[in-house]
């Protein structure tokens, strides 16, 4: 991914509870990743620490970490070891999104100068595996990000209908490509506006409106 980021991506924009809702992870799990509870350094360093607030880039880093943990079942000690190796050999501000990680569901690898390097095993050579979770993050040639969070299930069948982008709607979830707030759509549906009327008013398809409602209904209570 592009190493130069728009300054807006670094702004503290999301509290832990809000980010946990968007990422579909328990509040305490996300808080541990961001703080280590004083016993370990954080896996993802939040942009603001008192109170803790995540930037958009932090949100993307945690999205990648969710994939490593939930989809590929990677153990946190291996992830920590990989990040320490990167910090020593290839220092960068946001390694979880600056590097395209590869995994065999045990170790983490990156590619450097045509070599696949096992960074969770002290730089030994490894094999090439594909990190599919990054398909939900789109980066254009100018380094501009679009994040399409999972709505219910973490698999490729989930449509990329919901978008989180600091450039649109203050970084709150919208229907992708429209800027229409999912929260507004859902609140109007609850107030008895029909899906067809909402689709006509916002210039969306009924399927997009249904997915926005599905997203809002799927939001867990973060605690």
What pLDDT, on a 0 to 100 scale, did the predictor assign at position 220?
Answer: 54
pLDDT at 133 over 70: no
Closest alpha carbon to 43 in 12, 1, 74, 89: 74
Give the integer Cα–Cα distance in Å for 122 and 108: 11
Mean pLDDT for all residues in the chain: 85
pLDDT at 97 over 70: yes
pLDDT at 26 over 80: yes
Give the integer Cα–Cα distance in Å for 20 and 40: 20
Query: Could you report the per-residue pLDDT of 174-222, keeping only the tens digit for each?
Result: 999 999 999 999 999 999 999 999 999 999 999 999 999 999 987 654 3
């Amino acid at each position: 991914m592009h190493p130069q980021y728009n300054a807006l991506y670094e702004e503290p924009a999301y509290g832990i509870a809000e980010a946990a809702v968007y990422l579909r992870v328990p509040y305490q799990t996300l808080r541990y990743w961001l703080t280590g509870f004083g016993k370990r350094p954080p896996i993802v360093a939040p942009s603001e620490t008192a109170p803790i607030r995540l930037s958009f880039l932090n949100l993307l880093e945690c999205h990648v970490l969710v994939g490593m943990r939930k989809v590929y079942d990677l153990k946190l000690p291996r992830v920590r070891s990989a990040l320490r190796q990167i910090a020593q050999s290839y220092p960068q501000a946001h390694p979880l999104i600056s590097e395209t990680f590869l995994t065999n569901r045990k170790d983490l690898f990156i590619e450097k100068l045509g070599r696949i390097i096992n960074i969770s095993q002290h730089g030994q050579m490894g094999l090439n595996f594909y990190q599919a979770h990054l398909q939900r993050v789109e980066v254009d040639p100018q380094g501009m990000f679009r994040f399409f969070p999972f709505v219910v299930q973490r698999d490729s069948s989930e449509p990329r209908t919901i978008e989180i982008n600091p450039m649109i709607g203050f970084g709150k979830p919208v229907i992708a490509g429209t800027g229409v707030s999912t929260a507004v759509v859902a609140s109007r549906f609850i107030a008895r506006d029909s899906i067809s009327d909402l689709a006509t008013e916002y210039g969306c398809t009924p399927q997009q409106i249904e997915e926005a409602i599905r997203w809002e209904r799927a939001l867990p209570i973060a605690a």
